[in-house]
């Protein structure tokens, strides 16, 4: 057999037409190997199949054609303030004149002799009767070698994002040449067993189809090639989702196959004892989650579970149940929260739930005094504390547990990979429960969080007050504070006012917390107001929070530091200014801070004066629904998955062609196929199969961060 000149793993400088300098630029753009380059997909296509020669151009009909620049010059016309650039174009069949206004750089980029693809509307010039092309779009071709022209015209042509000075036509030509030399390649990263079950285009034909489509679907619109109805694209959508589901399933399986240091026994009646000690009856959803946790904890492998629930769905007590079970098994627990305020609050509510059972609970944050801290850490080390609640202060090396068996991470996305790893390493392959106050859309829970088992609290405890949401229109703005806030303060209720900025900034018409705190406290001189921002030292933050909780402060002006978990029963009104600057899920989170007492809540969203209609319209969903999952779904659609994922899954790729909103069906298919691939025999070393090796190597090669991700829970 002939040895192929190029292989998929060849470095790009080995590709004859690239050369060292461009290979360096490509590397800067993130492409190291031939394979990387082949996965640089075009972002759209142009139908240039009918590209005419210059002689065939028809005045008045827009068209694109390939031509050489014979001459290009600058003209200063008296009638025009901008210089006119004029070029004579020719293609062997005839000539045409192109004219641009003010685009002087063309003198440099299109010198005589250069070749370009021009698109515009030819017209007969009223001045001299010659064929003229006004301001055509131009795509410059790199020095053409014979035969390469075919990549750029007379076909459906891929258009690539330009990057690091590399043009779309450079990518097109280079990828075209690489594909030519790899022609007939039979590589296939997907397992044959999976392929044979599905109708999926093979790897190489699909790669070719992504770069150089042969035909357009029925309606003839090149944009239809951007949808997964186009088989080559469908293959890569599936591939991406399959890789992700494979990684998730693999990690999950690794955890399943590992065992915790200490096995526990869970007596049947524990649930009754615990539930009996609570001031309320658990909801059906809470009971289900508690059962799932108890089942996890009675296995030999550790728990790795995500507890999903909207604000106020009662996650705390479910987390507490795990602490209780661990305590009964002689194990310590830890809960890590992202902020001081939240840790303090968790400490108060969890202590109330757990102390009646004799569980010794402590708080460890940076605000704990040094001497106290030392005593506390010693107690934890000696096993005299059963449950530590804290911030990232829990991660410090000096804190050593005697038998840490259960870890709760609240607001997981606020912590870095290292932080989680460090805490988990303090236990002996411990049980982990991660909680999030932002509901995660189902498609995300099944993909990016697919390594975790899922418990969902889809039911609110009874007695929670409704929160109405209203968008304050511009014409009501003037009277807003007097009409909507003044009476509330008059009744002695408490008000949150939230801003996106701490201090005045360069940005015009964006209000900030500090300035507005000044204005609002002058407006209500007899009302005690407070200011809370992320910039303040923790002592000050804690004392402001305490004064707000106790009811001394009645109007709290803040940034999003109040976002997570804060529980102020007396707060009934929330005002968010420049609401368009926040994500929907974040706004939902914010409004979850009110209506936590005996009175219903009211949330006012005030769009900034410069907010677009679109940005304001997006807020409507918050008016329509109080369901956090619906809001999260919409947020995912508008802003993509980034915000939900945070750092938890760092090292994993973001999608290139798949879309978690559009491609849910393909996601479910990929998930099913990945689990069939991983499942057949949990005790067999599927790792040694050829299929497995091919897949794993490929995934690790494509996504260099994956190896590390796999190591961390």
Strand 63-75 to strand 84-90: parallel, antiparallel, or no bridges (unpaired)? antiparallel
Considering the rule CB under 6 A, would residue 669 count as an interface residue with ligand ADP? no
User: Candidates 167-175, 207-215, 304-312, 684-692 — which segment interacts with ligand ADP by CB under 6 A?
Assistant: 304-312
Question: Contact 562/430 with Cβ under 8 angstroms?
Answer: no
Strand 115-120 to strand 137-141: parallel, antiparallel, or no bridges (unpaired)? antiparallel
CB of 565 to Mg ion, least distance (A): 4
**What is the size of the binding site for ligand ADP (CB under 6 A)?**
16
Strand 304-309 to strand 431-436: parallel, antiparallel, or no bridges (unpaired)? parallel
Considering the rule CB under 6 A, would residue 351 count as an interface residue with ligand ADP? no
Work out which of 106, 115, 190, 317 binds ligand ADP, going by CB under 6 A.
317
Considering the rule CB under 6 A, would residue 315 count as an interface residue with ligand ADP? yes
Considering the rule CB under 5 A, would residue 601 count as an interface residue with Mg ion? no
Considering the rule CB under 5 A, would residue 565 count as an interface residue with Mg ion? yes
Q: Look at residue 642 and give its three-state secondary structure.
A: helix
CA distance 316 to 121: 66
Closest by CA position to 436, among listed 329, 572, 589: 589
Of 348 and 417, the one with the shorter C-beta distance to ligand ADP is 348
CA distance 653 to 704: 9
CB of 391 to Mg ion, least distance (A): 15
Of 201 and 313, the one with the shorter C-beta distance to Mg ion is 313
CB of 345 to Mg ion, least distance (A): 8
Work out which of 114, 316, 332, 443 binds ligand ADP, going by CB under 6 A.
316
Question: Contact 588/621 with Cβ under 8 angstroms?
Answer: no
Work out which of 176, 312, 570, 628 binds ligand ADP, going by CB under 6 A.
312
Of 40 and 293, the one with the shorter C-beta distance to ligand ADP is 293
What is the DSSP track for 370-426?
HHHHHHHHHHHHHT--SEEEESGGGGSTT---SSEEEEEEETGGGS-HHHHHHHHTT
CB of 337 to Mg ion, least distance (A): 9
CB of 639 to ligand ADP, least distance (A): 23
**What is the size of the binding site for Mg ion (CB under 5 A)?**
1
CB of 316 to Mg ion, least distance (A): 5
Buried b (16+ CB within 10 A) or exposed e, 66-104: bbbbeebeeeeeeeeeebbbbbbbebeeebbbbbbeeee
Q: Exposed, middle or buried: residue 275 (CB in 10 Å: 0-12, 13-18, 19+)? A: middle
CB of 191 to ligand ADP, least distance (A): 40
- Contact track, ligand ADP, 432-451, x by CB under 6 A: -----x--------------
CB of 319 to Mg ion, least distance (A): 9
Buried b (16+ CB within 10 A) or exposed e, 138-166: bbbbbebeeebeebbbebbbbbbeebeeb
Other CB atoms within a 10 A radius of the CB of residue 618 amount to 20
Q: Which does 313 bind (CB under 5 to 8 A by kind): Mg ion, ligand ADP, none?
A: ligand ADP
Considering the rule CB under 6 A, would residue 461 count as an interface residue with ligand ADP? yes
Strand 115-120 to strand 95-101: parallel, antiparallel, or no bridges (unpaired)? unpaired
User: Candidates 386-394, 454-462, 561-569, 631-639 — which segment interacts with Mg ion by CB under 5 A?
Assistant: 561-569
CB of 135 to ligand ADP, least distance (A): 57
Considering the rule CB under 5 A, would residue 309 count as an interface residue with Mg ion? no
Of 311 and 553, the one with the shorter C-beta distance to ligand ADP is 311
Q: Look at residue 94 and give its three-state secondary structure.
A: coil
Of 289 and 359, the one with the shorter C-beta distance to ligand ADP is 289
C-beta contacts of 670-675 below 8 A and 24+ residues apart: 670/238, 670/241, 670/242, 670/244, 670/245, 671/241, 671/245, 671/446, 671/447, 671/450, 673/194, 673/197, 673/198, 673/242, 673/245, 674/242, 674/245, 674/246, 674/248, 674/249, 675/245, 675/249
User: Candidates 124-132, 210-218, 441-449, 557-565 — which segment interacts with Mg ion by CB under 5 A?
Assistant: 557-565
Q: Residue with structure tokens 């508690």? A: 290
Work out which of 313, 333, 455, 560 binds ligand ADP, going by CB under 6 A.
313
Of 14 and 281, the one with the shorter C-beta distance to ligand ADP is 281
Q: Which does 427 bind (CB under 5 to 8 A by kind): ligand ADP, Mg ion, none?
A: none
User: Candidates 276-284, 376-384, 506-514, 645-653 — which segment interacts with ligand ADP by CB under 6 A?
Assistant: 276-284
Closest by CA position to 411, among listed 325, 345, 464, 505: 345
Question: Contact 283/347 with Cβ under 8 angstroms?
Answer: no
Of 309 and 570, the one with the shorter C-beta distance to ligand ADP is 309
Q: Which does 317 bind (CB under 5 to 8 A by kind): ligand ADP, Mg ion, none?
A: ligand ADP
| Local structure of residue 646 (DSSP, 8 states) | T
Work out which of 33, 286, 391, 455 binds ligand ADP, going by CB under 6 A.
286
Work out which of 282, 342, 544, 636 binds ligand ADP, going by CB under 6 A.
282
Of 206 and 562, the one with the shorter C-beta distance to ligand ADP is 562
Q: Which does 311 bind (CB under 5 to 8 A by kind): Mg ion, ligand ADP, none?
A: ligand ADP
- Go through the chain and tell me how many residues it has: 713
Binding residues for Mg ion (CB under 5 A): 565
Binding residues for ligand ADP (CB under 6 A): 280-283, 286, 309, 311-317, 437, 461, 463
């Amino acid at each position: 057999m002939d040895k192929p000149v190029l292989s998929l793993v060849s470095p790009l400088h080995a590709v004859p037409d690239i050369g060292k300098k461009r290979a360096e630029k490509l590397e800067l753009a993130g492409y190291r190997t031939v394979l990387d380059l082949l996965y640089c997909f075009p972002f759209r296509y142009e139908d240039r199949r009918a590209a005419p020669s210059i002689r065939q151009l028809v005045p008045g009909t827009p068209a694109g054609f390939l031509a050489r620049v014979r001459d290009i010059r600058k003209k200063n016309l008296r009638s025009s303030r901008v210089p006119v650039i004029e070029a004579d174009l020719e293609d062997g069949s005839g000539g045409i004149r192109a004219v641009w206004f003010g685009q002087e750089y063309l003198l440099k980029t299109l010198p005589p002799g250069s070749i370009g693809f021009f698109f515009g509307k030819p017209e007969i010039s009223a001045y001299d009767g010659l064929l003229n092309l006004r301001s055509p779009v131009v795509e410059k071709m790199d020095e053409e070698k014979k035969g390469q022209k075919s990549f750029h015209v007379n076909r459906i042509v891929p258009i690539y994002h330009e990057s690091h000075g590399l043009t779309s036509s450079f990518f097109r030509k280079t990828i075209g040449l690489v594909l030519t030399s790899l022609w007939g390649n039979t590589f296939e990263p997907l397992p044959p067993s999976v392929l044979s079950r599905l109708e999926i285009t093979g790897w190489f034909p699909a790669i070719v189809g992504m770069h150089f489509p042969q035909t357009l679907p029925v309606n003839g619109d090149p944009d239809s090639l951007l949808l997964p109805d186009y088989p080559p694209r469908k293959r890569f959508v599936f591939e991406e989702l399959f890789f992700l589901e494979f990684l998730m399933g693999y990690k999950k399986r690794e955890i399943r196959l590992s065992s915790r240091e200490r096995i526990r026994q869970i007596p049947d009646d524990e649930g009754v004892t615990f539930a009996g000690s609570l001031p309320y009856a658990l909801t059906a959803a809470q009971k289900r989650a508690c059962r799932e946790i108890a089942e996890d904890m009675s296995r030999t492998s550790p728990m790795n579970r995500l507890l999903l629930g909207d604000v106020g769905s009662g996650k705390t007590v479910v987390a507490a149940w795990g602490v209780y079970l661990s305590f009964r098994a002689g194990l310590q627990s830890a809960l890590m929260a992202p902020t001081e305020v939240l840790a303090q609050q968790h400490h108060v509510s969890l202590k109330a739930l757990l102390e009646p059972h004799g569980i010794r609970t402590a708080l460890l944050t940076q605000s704990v005094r040094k001497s106290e801290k030392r005593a506390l850490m010693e107690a934890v080390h000696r096993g005299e504390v059963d449950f530590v609640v804290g911030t990232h202060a829990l991660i410090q090396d000096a804190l050593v547990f005697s038998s840490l068996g259960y870890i709760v991470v609240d607001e997981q996305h606020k912590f870095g990979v290292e932080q989680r790893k460090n805490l988990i390493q303090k236990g002996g392959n411990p049980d982990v429960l991660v909680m999030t106050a932002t509901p995660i859309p189902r498609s995300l829970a099944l993909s990016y969080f697919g390594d975790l088992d899922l418990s969902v609290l889809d039911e609110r405890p009874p007695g929670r007050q409704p929160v109405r949401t209203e968008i304050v229109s511009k014409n009501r703005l003037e009277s807003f504070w007097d009409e909507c806030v003044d009476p509330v303060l008059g009744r002695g209720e408490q008000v949150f006012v939230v801003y996106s900025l701490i201090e005045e900034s360069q940005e015009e018409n964006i209000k900030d917390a500090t300035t507005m705190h000044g204005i609002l406290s002058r407006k209500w001189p007899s009302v005690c107001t407070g200011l809370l921002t992320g910039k303040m030292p923790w002592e000050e933050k804690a004392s402001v929070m305490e004064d707000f909780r106790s009811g001394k402060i009645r109007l709290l002006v803040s940034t999003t530091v109040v976002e997570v978990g804060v529980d102020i029963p007396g707060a009934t009104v929330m005002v968010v200014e420049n609401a368009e600057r926040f994500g929907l899920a974040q706004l939902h989170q914010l409004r979850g801070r009110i209506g936590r007492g005996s009175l219903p809540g009211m949330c006012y969203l005030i769009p900034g004066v410069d907010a677009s209609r679109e940005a304001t319209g997006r807020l409507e969903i918050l008016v329509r629904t109080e369901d956090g999952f619906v809001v999260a779904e919409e947020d995912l659609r508008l802003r993509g998955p980034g915000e939900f994922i945070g750092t938890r899954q760092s090292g994993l790729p973001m999608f290139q062609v798949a879309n978690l909103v559009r491609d849910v069906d393909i996601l479910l298919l990929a998930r099913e196929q990945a689990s069939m691939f991983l499942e057949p025999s949990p005790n067999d070393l599927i790792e040694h199969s050829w299929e497995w090796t091919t897949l794993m190597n490929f995934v690790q090669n494509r996504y260099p961060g994956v190896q590390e991700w796999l190591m961390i829970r």
